[in-house]
Copies of this chain bind each other. A is one copy, B any other.
Amino acid sequence: MKKDHAALRPPMGWNSWDCYGPAVNEEQLLGNAEYMAKYLKQYGWEYIVCDIQWSEPNAGKVASGREVPFYMPFAQLEMDEYGRQFPAPERFPSAAGGKGFAPIAEKIHDMGLKFGIHIMRGVPRQAVHQHLPVKGTGTTCDKIASSTSICWWNADMYGINADLEGAQAYYDSIFELYASWGVDFIKVDDICNTSAYPDNPYSAEKEIEMIRRAIDQCGREMVLSLSPGPAVIEKSWHLRQNANMWRLTDDFWDRWDLLLAMFERCEVWERQVSPGNWPDCDMLPLGSLRLYLNDWKDAAGLEFDTTWTNFTKEEQYTMMSLWSIFRSPLIMGGEMRNNDDFTLSLLTNAEILRMQRFGTNAHQVYRTEKACVWKSTDQEDGSVYAALFNLSDSAAQVTACFEELEIAGTYQVRDLWAKEDKGTETEKLSAWIAPHGAVVYRLKK
C-alpha cells in the first residue's frame, strides 16, 4: 500500500515540543538539525519536526486566568488570502515574503535530513469569521467549517465538515502548499483520540480520510502522524488504512507512572505494528526539557518545574528499551545541543536501534505488577531480542525461561546496553535489575 511506503521502518527524529513548547524559532530548529546531522544521522535519525503554533507571532506568551494557559485564544495568526497558515516571520525570519517553510526545509534537506511540521485539524476560526475563499473553489471557509467541532485546549480552529462542498478542497489546498515547501512529515493534532468527539465520533475519522486523500494527491510523500492519544483500539483498522503513526496515550512526560502505564498500552497494541503502521509511544523526554520555563517563572498550572528530565538513568533505559522493542517511532524531545554524554549514548546505541529497525513479531511474553518481559526476532539474521524490565521500586531478579520465550537449544547471549557478551544459556534468561530498570539481551544460536 502506497501509504505504507512513507514509513517502512518506524520513524526516528526530533520534535520541538518537549523543549520549546509552542514557541520554537528558526535558530532552534536549524541548530538541532545541525546537531542531528553531525551526531545522529548515521544511526538512522532523520526527521526535524516543528511543533504547534508556528503561525502565531507571539506564541508562548502565557494566557493568565485561562483554562489552558499555554495558548492565547483568538490570537492573530499569519495566514494567506485562502486561510492557509504561514510561519510567523517574527519567529522564522526566512519565511518572510511568503516563502513559508521552504527555506528552512531546503536547509534541512541539504543536511541530508527530512523536515516535518505540526498542524491542527480544521480551518482557522479567523479565516471562517473573515469568510475567506477556499482556494480553487467558489466557496468560503465559513461554508465548510463545523461550528461545534472545536478543540478543548486550543482555540485556533474549527473542524471541517466533510459533508459540505469545498471541505476536501481546503485540505487539498494546504497540502499542496506543504508539498511546495518540501514537507516530509506531518503531525496532525486534535484528531487521533476519536472518542473525544462524543457528539459526532465520526467527524474526526472523516477528517483523517480527507487528510489521507490530500496527501495522496499532493505529489509528495509524507509520513502522517496523528495526535493526541489515546487512540482507540477499535479504530485500529481505520488508522492503519490512513496513517503511519498514532499516539497511544495523551502527552507523555518524564513521570514514572506514565512510563509504567505505557506497558499496558503496548500490550494492547502489539499486534497492530507493521511496516507503515507504527503505534506511537510519543516523544522521548530526555535531557534538556521545558526551556520555556525560564521565561514563565510565574505561570500557574504547570505540572513540571524542572528543565532536565526527571527520569532516573534506569528509567531512561527502560523507556528506550520498551520503545525500541515495541518498535515505536523514536522522536527525541529534548534540546539536543544540551545533551550530556549519557543522553547521547542512549540515542546512539546501534545494537538497540537495530532492534527497533529490524525486530519483528514483537510481543509481551508476560507482565506482572513487578516485572515484564518482551521478545522480538531480527528480520535479517533471526536472532532473538529479549527485554527484561523491573517494574518494582526495589532491585529484583527478573527471569524468562526459554519455554516462555518459545525458544530451545543453546544461545549466545549479549547484553545490548552493557555491550557485553554473557556466554551461553540453555534454559532461561535472568538478570538482577535496579528499580525501574531494564536489560536487553540479543540471543544467537
Given contacts A128-B74, A268-B236, whether A150 and B152 have CB atoms under 8 Å apart is no
A 144-169 binary contact with B (CB < 8 Å = 1; else 0): 01111011100100000101110000
CA distance A161 to B68 in the complex (A): 13
CA distance A287 to B363 in the complex (A): 42
CB neighbours of A74 from chain B (8 A): 128-129, 131, 142, 145, 147
Q: Is the CB of A234 within 8 A of B237?
A: no
Interface centre among A73, A126, A128 (most CB of B within 10 A): A73
Given contacts A73-B147, A74-B147, whether A270 and B364 have CB atoms under 8 Å apart is no
- Number of copies of this protein chain within its complex: 4
Q: Is the CB of B67 within 8 A of A236?
A: no
**A406 proximal to B (CB < 8 A):** yes
Q: Is the CB of A155 within 8 A of B147?
A: yes
Given contacts A74-B128, A199-B152, whether A146 and B67 have CB atoms under 8 Å apart is yes
CA distance A147 to B156 in the complex (A): 9
Contact of A126 among B129, B267, B270, B364 (CB under 8 A): B129
**A408 proximal to B (CB < 8 A):** no
**A418 proximal to B (CB < 8 A):** no
A 60-95 binary contact with B (CB < 8 Å = 1; else 0): 000001110000011000000000000000000000
Q: Is the CB of B271 within 8 A of A271?
A: yes
Instruction: State the A residues within 8 Å of B (CB).
Output: 1, 65-67, 73-74, 125-126, 128-131, 142, 145-148, 150-152, 155, 161, 163-165, 199-200, 233-234, 236-237, 267-268, 270-272, 364, 406
